[in-house]
């Protein structure tokens, strides 16, 4: 897993003169209801080394994965129309990127450690630009799915490389990265994820759905120029191939791909199940667990999950909530266009209030001392949102629809910061890098599950009935998670030292 991702406590306890503002609590410094963490004295050394020229290339690249994740939501309907595809078939455009990201994020982190983060960053940007060109040339849905997989791989290299570059500079200067600079990195990713549907709607309406792929070409090349000009060169030499094979768990990656892919084939064809895929996925899962228990540095550390129940529950909670979030991001946009008859641009505009409120709730979440309350607010808000969806129909005015979907803002913003704080609190310090990587993997699995649920409830295309069925499923899940969180004692449990081996 990614070792370059440092503990949240290590990524900023100081202000940044170049970015201004007072020093606010970072998500990783949130306290549980029973646990208090003391912030050490502010370290002023090296603040000027984390200014705009250093942060801008890293923040820009880190936005490319989230914006590509959600930008396609308002383009799914015209893509389906052009290729005469069902919701289940276009769902592979979503699942393909997340499958690739779930594998590539931790792998790219290890490659950044071995070959240098700046080198990996530049190669990732080249892959993104290539995907943009191929997306414009794609003439089939399967070809477009392949492009999305390539986008998933390319965009997964930016964030772990950026985190590693921050860590290298901080270690070299003997100080910690300013909190505000790190905040720019995380907030830029969250903001672009929330604005993705709007951006995709505007581009699709003005230039056609191909534009959501071609826009990656100038974005990637522009970011690459800034990286070349402003990002410090890698100082360490490239490791040899033998070290790569030793550090990167290729067999574990293969088993994980087999497990997820076979499970996806089964879940995305629930109307006409491919029953053989289910036992195949079980075989891959068992093989992955057995392999991970034997390997010193496995791709998925099942030993850590087995001995840390609190962290395992946090991942499960995150996967289930993110499944609902992505059901709304993708399913709601499809219903707006094919069910309610809005254009791609109008569908994107309707989601703007939700995006704004999501960013606000994220900021509120960073200033909350407990983590149980943000979880409960997020689940309660999602439940209210599901009730609101049940009241909508294709004849509902656009302004009422925009208000109804705002209830899903807190699950996007506040829940994410609370989950990050929970991982920080529950994971032992020596395993925080692995824990952060598994958190991302849990979220991607939730997104993949969302595509399966949408395919099941929508069928060929989104309708009022399909939206209401989706709302009922999410309402039941939200209620269960709300009650579970009230009585969940693991939320307040601090991390325990990992046992010695």
pLDDT digits (tens, 9 = 90+) for 46-71: 456 888 899 999 999 989 998 999 99
**Global pTM value:** 0.78
When pLDDT is cut at 50, 70 and 90, the band that residue 434 belongs to is low
Model pLDDT, residue 267:
84
Question: Does pLDDT of 7 surpass 70?
Answer: no
Domain 1-19+49-234 superfamily per CATH: MFS general substrate transporter like domains (1.20.1250.20)
Q: List pLDDT tens digits, range 405-420.
A: 999 988 877 888 788 7
Model pLDDT, residue 492:
61
**Would you kindly state where each structural domain of the chain is located, as residue ranges?**
1-19+49-234, 250-294, 301-501
Q: Which residue shows structure tokens 């940007």?
A: 125
Q: List pLDDT tens digits, range 205-236.
A: 999 999 999 999 999 999 999 999 999 999 87
What is the torsional sign of CA 206, 207, 212, 218?
negative
When pLDDT is cut at 50, 70 and 90, the band that residue 34 belongs to is very low
360, burial (CB in 10 Å: exposed 0-12, middle 13-18, buried 19+): middle
3-state helix, strand and coil shares in percent for the chain, rounded to the nearest 5 = 75, 0, 25
Looking at domain 301-501, which CATH architecture does it have? Up-down Bundle (1.20)
Q: Which residue shows structure tokens 């490659």?
A: 111
Q: Which residue shows structure tokens 């100080």?
A: 175
Percent of the chain with pLDDT over 90: 44
Do 1-19+49-234 and 301-501 share a fold? yes
Between the alpha carbon of residue 25 and those of residues 143, 340, 377, 459, 462, the distances in Å are: 45, 42, 20, 45, 42
DSSP state of 28: G
């Amino acid at each position: 897993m990614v070792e370059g991702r440092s503990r949240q406590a290590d990524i900023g306890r100081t202000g940044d003169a170049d970015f201004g503002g007072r020093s606010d609590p970072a998500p990783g410094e949130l306290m549980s209801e029973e646990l208090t963490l003391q912030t050490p004295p502010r370290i002023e050394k090296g603040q000027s080394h984390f200014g705009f020229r250093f942060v801008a290339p890293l923040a820009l690249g880190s936005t490319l994965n989230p914006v590509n994740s959600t930008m396609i939501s308002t383009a799914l309907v015209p893509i389906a129309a052009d290729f005469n595809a069902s919701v289940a078939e276009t769902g592979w455009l979503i699942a393909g990127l997340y499958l690739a990201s779930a594998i590539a994020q931790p792998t790219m982190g290890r490659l950044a450690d071995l070959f240098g983060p700046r080198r990996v960053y530049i190669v990732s940007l080249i892959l993104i630009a290539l995907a943009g060109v191929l997306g414009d040339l794609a003439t089939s849905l399967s070809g477009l799915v392949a492009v999305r997989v390539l986008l998933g791989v390319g965009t997964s290299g930016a964030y772990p490389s950026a985190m590693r570059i921050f860590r290298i500079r901080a270690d070299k200067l003997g100080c910690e990265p300013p909190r505000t600079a790190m905040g720019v990195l995380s907030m830029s990713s969250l903001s672009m994820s929330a604005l993705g549907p709007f951006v995709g709607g505007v581009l699709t309406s003005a230039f056609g759905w191909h534009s959501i792929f071609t826009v990656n070409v100038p974005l990637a090349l522009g970011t690459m120029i800034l990286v070349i000009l402003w990002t410090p060169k890698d100082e360490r030499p490239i490791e040899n191939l033998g070290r790569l094979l030793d550090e990167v768990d290729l067999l574990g990656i293969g088993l994980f791909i087999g497990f997820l892919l076979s499970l996806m084939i089964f879940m995305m064809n629930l109307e006409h199940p491919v029953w053989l895929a289910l036992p195949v996925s079980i075989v891959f899962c068992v093989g992955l667990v057995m392999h991970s228990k034997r390997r010193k540095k496995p791709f998925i550390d099942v030993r850590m999950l087995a001995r840390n129940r609190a962290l395992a529950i946090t991942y499960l909670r995150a996967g289930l909530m993110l499944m609902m979030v992505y059901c709304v991001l993708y399913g709601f946009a499809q219903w707006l266009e094919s069910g309610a008859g809005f254009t791609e641009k109008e569908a994107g505009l309707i989601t703007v209030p939700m995006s704004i409120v999501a960013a606000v709730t994220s900021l509120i979440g960073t200033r909350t001392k407990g983590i149980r309350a943000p979880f409960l607010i997020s689940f309660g808000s999602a439940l209210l949102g599901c009730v609101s969806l049940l009241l909508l129909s294709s004849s509902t005015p656009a302004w009422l629809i925009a208000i109804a979907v705002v209830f899903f803002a807190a699950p996007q913003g506040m829940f994410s910061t609370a989950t990050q704080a929970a991982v920080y609190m529950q994971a032992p310090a020596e395993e925080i890098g692995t824990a952060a990587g598994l958190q991302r993997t849990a979220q991607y699995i939730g997104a993949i599950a969302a595509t399966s649920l949408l395919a099941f409830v929508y069928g060929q295309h989104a309708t009022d009935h399909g939206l209401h069925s989706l709302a009922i499923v999410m309402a039941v899940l939200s209620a269960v998670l709300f009650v579970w969180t009230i009585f969940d004692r693991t939320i307040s449990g601090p991390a325990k030292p990992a046992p010695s081996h």
